[in-house]
């Protein structure tokens, strides 16, 4: 056992000398340990003690020698998980012979304040750190990821890609906004002819009766010009679906076919200059005239005009106009009416005054305009009367008595827009990432002294800028698939939850896209600033996604309020005061059971464990929700009006919504990965999920530290692991954006294709 006597201490010596911070006390501990080991011979003891003499430290070469020895052992034996395992492996003695000393060594580890697992993982993660060596690899079948992403909609997605890859869909690059608008309109006609526009309309009106396909069309079109997508969405989604969903059979028969074929271009005229987010406050009036069985549509003052209305400035012939219904001086709240704007030659009708919103930051292919109504008379049947109507006697009728609830029910039916937009945003993020990652893989700058320059994607900071975003984009993809499926199979019971989820995912995805395209632009440097490389349009076109279909900040408040009411619901009738306290404490208890170890664990297996990720996300979601509830309760008890109390906690409410959306997104990404059978695909997607999860935990780490759910040693380890995952994913990054299968003519940016010399 001579050999063993010395060998057994190598891991400990290495630990002692490699750690700059080791204290005298720890040296003494090790000395005592050596002296107290009865199985050691005196000469061994003396020899060993020379190795921990602070006056005679080992040479640098000796330390490196130990380290190499340890690395070899750990890397050749994946099962090693403790220092004692190393000792066993190094030793010439039999395992059973050594077993009796195990407890001694474990006690020593403890006395030295050393975590065995951590020490081992330090030797394990011996990845290649040479900057110049990392490069694009081909580790899996890209088409299998594409198939997973496309799911059941693969057929329609391929069809759309084929259409937008045709020569007539060459991007518009001239300077005239007017011709750009016409070009986009022409493209829409081609899409209508392909029966893309009416995809969600009932079959009896020429439609495809397939809302899943409709959303996939929206998303796939978004690889092309985003003005086209929005123009398409205004015509078929907003105008068409408002007629379909707010109208009744007589409207469907009269309009849907022509809307679907784009024979009847129209608008969705809800927003007014003075009322955007607060649409309940719209001021346009529709006054019922019982004598003539008509409505008089009126803009009461200039800033009550409809504003930002797509299709209004040039092409729209009709509009669904949202206006307060007035009957006999009584206000019945906001309802919807079909109002003609132009004749079929495009001449603006009497009483209609159209303004042009003029040049915009982006989406200049869409003709947004303002509309004012001066005594415009429309027949009674133009009221979209699914939820409310005026009967033969001129009396208001509705199955939903509350004006407020009726209005929000109407809005609820239109929630599809909050699915189409985030999916379009997602596609734009994919385009941006494809451009930036493919450029970063080829663009070389700087390098080791005297050697070739290195692709900028090999730089850690470049990876940090792009790869967590790539992971998030994959995660959001599956979350949006989930949202879509929930929407399609919705019932009245879960409608509120789905509305909140849609509002939330719209915000989460559009904000994500804004942040991603910002990074992509910067990551492509000067090339990213040239319009030809398309980040310009992608960025500017999607910039408004965070505002339209509901301002994100406002939507996030709604989402948080929905979470608060779900939270209250799920605890039924308990007294609200004690209840909130209870849930808060309960959440703490449930999770803190795992804490004493979990808050400090930093070994690789744990940090990469999806159960850890999911629990952390869930814990954060519940705790933030409970603490927001508690805070609001306290403010109200302190005498604040609810309106003011909610104002005080607005910042907190954003976190409530965010934590909820992050949990849903991670969960759906993990569910999707579970369905994958191909091992290589599963492996790379798992890495992406780990990166998504840890990058979010890192982003929120101040909260986790404040809460005590994580300790500093762990958040620091997480930061390192995020860096590590970026480095590990880098060789697959190009394949992962190729898997989006964006048509080359759509991606278009020369920097995504050209060789750099």
Binders of a second copy in range 530-549 (CB under 8 A) = 530-532, 535-536, 539-540, 543-544, 546-548
Question: Least separation, in Å, of the C-beta of 627 and a second copy?
Answer: 10
The smaller minimum CB distance to a second copy, of residues 242 and 514, is found at 514
Could you say which of 644, 671, 750, 753 contacts a second copy (CB under 8 A)? 644
300 binding a second copy? (CB under 8 A): no
Distance from C-alpha of 54 to C-alpha of 95, rounded to nearest angstrom: 33
Distance from C-alpha of 609 to C-alpha of 430, rounded to nearest angstrom: 27
129 binding a second copy? (CB under 8 A): yes
Cβ atoms of 370 and 380 within 8 Å: the answer is no
Distance from C-alpha of 308 to C-alpha of 301, rounded to nearest angstrom: 17
Where in 64-83 is the site for a second copy (CB under 8 A)? 64, 67
Could you say which of 464, 486, 490, 610 contacts a second copy (CB under 8 A)? 464
Provide φ and ψ at 325, rounded to 5°.
-80, 125
Pick the stretch among 32-40, 325-333, 408-416, 707-715 that binds a second copy (CB under 8 A): 707-715
Could you say which of 360, 568, 600, 606 contacts a second copy (CB under 8 A)? 360
Q: Which two tokens stand for residue 257?
A: 């076919």
99 binding a second copy? (CB under 8 A): no
Pick the stretch among 157-165, 203-211, 344-352, 706-714 that binds a second copy (CB under 8 A): 706-714
- The closest of 621, 589, 620, 598 to 714, measured between CA atoms, is 598
Could you say which of 326, 723, 743, 745 contacts a second copy (CB under 8 A)? 723
Could you say which of 651, 677, 679, 744 contacts a second copy (CB under 8 A)? 651
The smaller minimum CB distance to a second copy, of residues 438 and 465, is found at 465
Please give the torsion angle defined by the CA atoms of residues 501, 502, 503 and 509, in that order, rounded to the nearest 10 degrees: 100
Could you say which of 161, 183, 275, 477 contacts a second copy (CB under 8 A)? 275
Could you say which of 154, 357, 488, 636 contacts a second copy (CB under 8 A)? 357
Distance from C-alpha of 615 to C-alpha of 606, rounded to nearest angstrom: 12
Question: Least separation, in Å, of the C-beta of 316 and a second copy?
Answer: 18
In the three-class reduction of DSSP (H, G, I as helix; E, B as strand; rest coil), residue 726 is classed as helix
Could you say which of 99, 379, 399, 525 contacts a second copy (CB under 8 A)? 525
Could you say which of 346, 379, 708, 750 contacts a second copy (CB under 8 A)? 708
Q: Which two tokens stand for residue 639?
A: 């005498």
Where in 400-459 is the site for a second copy (CB under 8 A)? 444-449, 453, 458-459
The residue assigned the tokens 């003494």 is 28
Question: Least separation, in Å, of the C-beta of 756 and a second copy?
Answer: 7
Cβ atoms of 612 and 619 within 8 Å: the answer is no
Cβ atoms of 212 and 171 within 8 Å: the answer is no
Provide φ and ψ at 717, rounded to 5°.
-65, -35
The smaller minimum CB distance to a second copy, of residues 311 and 481, is found at 311
CB atoms within 10 A of CB 17: 19
The number of CA neighbours under 13 Å toward the Cβ of 221 is 25
Angle at 544 between CA 543 and CA 549, to 5 degrees: 140
Where in 738-757 is the site for a second copy (CB under 8 A)? 756-757
Question: Least separation, in Å, of the C-beta of 335 and a second copy?
Answer: 21
Where in 204-263 is the site for a second copy (CB under 8 A)? none
Question: Least separation, in Å, of the C-beta of 687 and a second copy?
Answer: 19
Distance from C-alpha of 29 to C-alpha of 39, rounded to nearest angstrom: 18
What is the pattern of x (binds a second copy, CB under 8 A) and - over residues 505-524? ---------x---x--xx--
- The closest of 542, 428, 562, 570 to 502, measured between CA atoms, is 562
Provide φ and ψ at 383, rounded to 5°.
-75, 130
Could you say which of 57, 113, 281, 750 contacts a second copy (CB under 8 A)? 281
Residue 40's alpha-carbon distances to 9, 92, 217, in angstroms, are 12, 15, 76
CB atoms within 10 A of CB 593: 9
Pick the stretch among 75-83, 187-195, 255-263, 269-277 that binds a second copy (CB under 8 A): 269-277
Where in 146-175 is the site for a second copy (CB under 8 A)? 173, 175
The smaller minimum CB distance to a second copy, of residues 186 and 453, is found at 453
Question: Least separation, in Å, of the C-beta of 4 and a second copy?
Answer: 27
Question: Least separation, in Å, of the C-beta of 322 and a second copy?
Answer: 16
Pick the stretch among 51-59, 190-198, 526-534, 601-609 that binds a second copy (CB under 8 A): 526-534
Could you say which of 362, 369, 420, 731 contacts a second copy (CB under 8 A)? 362
The number of CA neighbours under 13 Å toward the Cβ of 416 is 26
Cβ atoms of 246 and 410 within 8 Å: the answer is yes
The smaller minimum CB distance to a second copy, of residues 245 and 657, is found at 657
The smaller minimum CB distance to a second copy, of residues 46 and 577, is found at 577
CA torsion sign for 485, 487, 492, 497 is positive
Cβ-based neighbours of 460, under 8 Å, separated by 6 or more: 723, 726, 727
Where in 170-199 is the site for a second copy (CB under 8 A)? 173, 175-177
Question: Least separation, in Å, of the C-beta of 129 and a second copy?
Answer: 5
Could you say which of 301, 348, 379, 753 contacts a second copy (CB under 8 A)? 301
The smaller minimum CB distance to a second copy, of residues 4 and 407, is found at 407
**Total number of residues that touch a second copy (CB under 8 A):** 95
Where in 548-607 is the site for a second copy (CB under 8 A)? 548, 551-553, 557, 581
Could you say which of 78, 167, 596, 639 contacts a second copy (CB under 8 A)? 639
Question: Can you state the angle between helices 10-18 and 83-90, rounded to 10 degrees?
Answer: 130
Beta sheet of 352-356, edge-to-edge order: 306-309, 369-373, 352-356
What is the enclosing helix (H) or strand (E) of 335? Answer: strand 330-340
């Amino acid at each position: 056992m001579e050999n063993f006597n010395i060998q057994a201490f190598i891991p400990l010596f290495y630990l002692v000398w490699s750690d700059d911070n080791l204290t005298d006390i720890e040296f003494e501990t090790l000395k005592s340990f050596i002296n107290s080991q009865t199985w050691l011979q005196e000469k061994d003891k003396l020899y060993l003690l020379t190795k921990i003499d602070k006056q005679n430290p080992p040479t640098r070469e000796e330390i490196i020698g130990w380290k190499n020895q340890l690395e070899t052992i750990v890397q050749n034996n994946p099962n090693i998980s403790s220092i004692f395992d190393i000792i066993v492996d190094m030793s010439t003695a039999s395992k059973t012979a050594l077993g009796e000393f195990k407890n001694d060594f474990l006690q020593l580890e403890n006395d030295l304040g050393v975590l065995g697992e951590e020490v081992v993982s330090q030797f394990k993660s011996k990845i290649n750190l040479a900057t110049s060596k990392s490069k694009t690899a081909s580790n899996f079948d890209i088409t299998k990821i594409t198939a997973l992403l496309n799911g059941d909609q693969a057929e329609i997605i391929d069809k759309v890609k084929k259409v937008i890859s045709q020569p007539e869909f060459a991007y518009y690059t001239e300077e005239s906004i007017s011709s750009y608008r016409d070009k986009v309109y022409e493209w829409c006609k081609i899409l209508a002819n392909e029966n893309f526009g009416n995809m969600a309309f009932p079959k009896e009106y020429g439609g495809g009766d397939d809302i899943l396909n409709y959303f996939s069309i929206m998303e796939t079109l978004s690889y092309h010009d985003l003005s086209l997508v929005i123009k398409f969405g205004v015509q078929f989604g907003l105008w068409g679906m408002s007629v379909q969903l707010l109208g009744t059979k007589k409207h469907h028969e009269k309009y849907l076919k022509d809307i679907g074929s784009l024979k009847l271009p129209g608008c969705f005229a809800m927003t007014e200059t003075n009322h955007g987010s607060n649409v309940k406050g719209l001021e346009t009036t529709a006054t019922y005239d019982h004598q003539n069985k008509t409505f008089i549509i009126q803009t009461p003052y200039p800033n009550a005009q409809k504003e930002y209305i797509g299709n209004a400035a040039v092409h729209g012939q009709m509009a669904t106009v949202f206006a307060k219904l007035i009957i006999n001086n009584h206000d019945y709240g906001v309802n919807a009416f079909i109002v003609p704007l132009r004749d079929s030659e495009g001449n603006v009708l009497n009483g209609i005054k159209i303004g042009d919103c003029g040049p915009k930051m982006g989406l200049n292919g869409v003709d947004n305009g303002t509309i004012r109504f001066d005594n415009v008379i429309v027949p009674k049947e133009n009221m979209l009367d699914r939820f409310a109507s005026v009967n033969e006697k001129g009396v208001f009728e509705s199955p939903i008595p509350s004006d407020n609830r009726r209005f929000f029910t109407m809005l609820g039916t239109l929630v599809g827009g909050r699915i189409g937009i985030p999916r379009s945003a997602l596609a734009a993020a994919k385009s941006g990432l494809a451009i930036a990652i493919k450029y970063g893989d080829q663009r070389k700058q700087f390098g080791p002294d005297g050697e070739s320059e290195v692709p900028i994607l090999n730089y850690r900071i470049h990876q940090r800028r792009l790869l967590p975003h790539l992971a998030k984009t994959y995660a959001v993809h599956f979350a949006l698939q989930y949202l879509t499926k929930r929407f399609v199979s919705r019932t009245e019971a879960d409608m509120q939850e789905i509305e909140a989820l849609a509002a939330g995912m719209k915000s989460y995805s559009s904000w994500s896209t804004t942040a991603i395209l910002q990074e992509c632009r910067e990551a492509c440097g000067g090339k990213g600033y040239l319009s030809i490389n398309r980040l310009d349009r992608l960025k500017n076109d999607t910039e408004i996604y965070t505002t339209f279909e509901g301002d994100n900040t406002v939507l996030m408040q709604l989402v948080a309020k929905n979470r608060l009411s779900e939270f209250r619901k799920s605890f039924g009738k308990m007294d609200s005061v004690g209840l909130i306290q209870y849930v808060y404490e309960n959440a703490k208890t449930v999770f803190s059971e795992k804490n004493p170890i979990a808050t400090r664990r930093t070994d690789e297996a744990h940090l990469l464990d999806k159960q850890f990720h999911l629990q952390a996300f869930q814990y954060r979601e519940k705790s933030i929700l409970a603490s927001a509830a508690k805070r609001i309760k306290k403010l109200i008890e302190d005498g604040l009006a609810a309106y003011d109390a909610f104002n005080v906690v607005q910042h907190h409410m954003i976190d409530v919504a965010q934590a909820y959306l992050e949990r849903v997104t991670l969960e759906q990404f993990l569910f999707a990965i579970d369905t994958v059978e191909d091992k290589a695909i599963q492996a790379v997607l798992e890495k992406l999920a780990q990166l998504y999860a840890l990058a979010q935990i890192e982003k929120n780490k101040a909260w986790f530290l404040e809460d005590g759910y994580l300790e500093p040693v762990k958040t620091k380890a997480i930061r390192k692991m995020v860096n590590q995952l970026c480095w590990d994913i880098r060789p697959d990054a190009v394949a992962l954006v190729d898997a989006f299968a964006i048509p080359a003519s759509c991606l278009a940016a020369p920097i995504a294709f050209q060789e750099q010399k």
